[in-house]
Amino acid sequence: MQLSKGITILNGAPALKTFDQQILTLPTLFCVNETEASIFSGQLIHSISDAELAAKKLIAKGCKSVLITLGEQGALYLTEDSNKPALRVVSPKVNSIDTTGAGDAFLGGLAYFLAVKGYTIEKAIEAACIVAADSVTKFGTQISFPGPEILKSIKI
């Protein structure tokens, strides 16, 4: 699936137990981690199957598409198109030192690969998983984020 420029991405962090449900209907893409997905959907997540069920519940609440980051297990993407199965993207295996900011690195990478590189959503998620995986191999947040040279070197 190709998403065109002008899409809206809503990062669900930090998740609120009480919120206006209409907010879920506004973005093109609703992106959350496992904990946030559990809070927004009401579905506890202990497995990939649970994450897919949470994504389906978020779609039922009005999301157009849902992207759940799963840490070292990668990410899961689901759209409101019931004919398309959930997409599971696996993260590269790395020696994780500090996971602080990995979600921010993921979202920044996702936006970059969609807007600047023009990747399809599937390829952008795969590239964003690489960016997030790279970011956890160093201490800190901003200093662990890949710079332009790394971003330009990622080819999917």
Smallest CA-to-CA distance from 37 within 52, 26, 22 is with 52
104 noted as active-site residue:
yes
Token pair recorded at residue 148: 């332009």
Catalytic pick among 50, 81, 98, 104 = 104
Smallest CA-to-CA distance from 125 within 94, 97, 86, 96 is with 86
Smallest CA-to-CA distance from 93 within 69, 111, 119, 71 is with 71
User: Which residues belong to the active site?
Assistant: 104
